Amino acid sequence: MSGFMGGGGHVIGSVEADNDASLIITGLDSAYDTFLIELADMMPSADAVHAWMRLGDAGGIDSGVADYGWGNNYQRVDSASPLQGNAQSYEDSSDSKMVISNGGHGVGSTAGEGFGASLKLHRPGDGSIAPIITGTYGFMTDLAIFTTGVLGGRRSSVIALDRIQFLFSSGSILSGRMTVTGVPHA
Positions touching another protein (CB under 8 A) are 13, 15-27, 46-49, 63, 106, 143, 165, 169-172
Nearest approach in angstroms of CB 65 to another protein is 11
Note whether 100 and 71 are within 8 A (CB): no
Q: Shortest Cβ distance from residue 20 to another protein (Å)? A: 4
Q: How far is the CB of 12 from another protein (least distance, A)?
A: 10
Give the Cα separation of 36 and 183 in Å (integer): 7
Written in H, E and C, the secondary structure of 42-55 is EEECCCCECEEEEE
Provide the 3-class DSSP secondary structure of residue 32.
coil
Smallest distance from the beta carbon of 6 to another protein, in angstroms?
Answer: 26
C-beta closer to another protein: residue 140 or 152: 140
The b-or-e profile of 113-123 (16+ CB within 10 A means b, else e) is bbbbbebebeb
Residue by residue, DSSP assigns 97-155 as: SEE---SSS-B--STT-EEEEEEEE-S-TT-SSPPEEEEEEEEEBTTS-EEEEEEEEEE
Q: How far is the CB of 79 from another protein (least distance, A)?
A: 12
Nearer to another protein, 14 or 73 (CB): 14
Collapsed DSSP state (helix, strand, coil) of residue 9: coil
